[in-house]
Amino acid sequence: METLSSRTVIYWLGYFGLAMLIIMLNILPLQTVPPEFFSMNAVSLESNATTMFGLVFAVLKSFLADFVLSLVSTPNVLLAFTCAWVLRKPEYVPVMLIGAVFLLADFLLQRPPGLYAAVVIIGTEFLRRRVMELRGAPFLVEYLTVAGVIFAIAIMYRIFSSVAVITPPDFWLLFLQAVSTIVIYPLVVFVTQAVFGIRSVMPGQLDEGRGRL
């Protein structure tokens, strides 16, 4: 490892702490009722849906409420942060750290251990190789790339769990999770830059402790 500065180590710890915070917020016992997205359930719809208009209104309202709720509760914030950090300062989130953090998340969030982590490693390594190309590119380009990677991660996860003959996660739920993760990505980027002060090193800029790129 070249120039293993104390700053880098602090950011490693920061990433780990952030990950633990996100996992902790996830497992807070707030949502013990399963979210209902596309599975129309009788029990939530039966109330005062006597007229056609009332029915349509009830469906729309519950759908909207579900959608908003899903945006709050389902996105994989950890994945969004990891992508944002990898694209800005790859040395702050080494592969092994990502692997360890997602393995721990797998264990704590009741996923098959290692599978999601391995898929995330594939995704983030793909991003890591494009750091130089995306540096200085407009944000839209980065956004589309990350969106592609997040979808690819969801699809690979689904395929691999089918291949390994374990009960695959619900398709719509995975899709919704990918979409909501992509939706919150700009916010995550903003927090990464504003709060953590992690910005890409632009060509020609001085990289701290390492001199000109």
Please work out the total of residues on this chain that contact another protein, with binding judged by CB under 8 A. 57
H-helix or E-strand containing 54?
helix 52-73
Q: What is d(CA 142, CA 145) in angstroms, rounded to the nearest whole number?
A: 5
- Does residue number 56 form part of the binding site for another protein (CB under 8 A)? no
Does residue number 114 form part of the binding site for another protein (CB under 8 A)?
A: yes
- Report if residue 71 touches another protein, rule: CB under 8 A: no
- Pull the structure tokens for residue 110: 């009741």
DSSP lists the bridge partners of residue 206 as: 212
Q: How far is residue 99's CA from residue 105's CA, in Å, rounded to a whole number?
A: 10
Among the residue ranges 5-13, 106-114, 135-143, 197-205, the one whose residues contact another protein (CB under 8 A): 106-114
* Structure token digits, residue 119: 């898929």
CA–CA dist 3, 204 (Å, integer): 19
Smallest separation (angstroms) from another protein to the CB of 34: 5
Q: Among residues 3, 5, 73, 205, which is the contact residue for another protein, using CB under 8 A?
A: 73
Q: What is the CA radius of gyration of the chain?
A: 20
Q: Which of 3, 9, 13, 44 binds another protein (CB under 8 A)?
A: 44
* Terminal-residue alpha carbon distance, the chain: 17
72 near another protein, rule: CB under 8 A: no
Kindly state whether residue 14 participates in binding another protein, applying the rule CB under 8 A.
Answer: no
What amino acid is encoded at 73 in this protein?
S
Based on the shown chain and the rule CB under 8 A, indicate whether residue 25 belongs to the binding site for another protein. Answer: yes
Give the Cβ contact number of residue 89 at 10 Å: 20
Under rule CB under 8 A, residue 163 binds another protein? no
Within residues 76-95, the interface with another protein by CB under 8 A covers 90, 94-95
Q: What is the DSSP letter of 28?
A: S
Q: Does 109 bind another protein (CB under 8 A)?
A: yes
Interface positions with another protein (CB under 8 A): 23-36, 39-45, 70, 73-74, 90, 94-96, 98-99, 103-104, 107-115, 117-118, 121-122, 125, 128-129, 131-132, 164, 166-167, 169-170, 173, 177
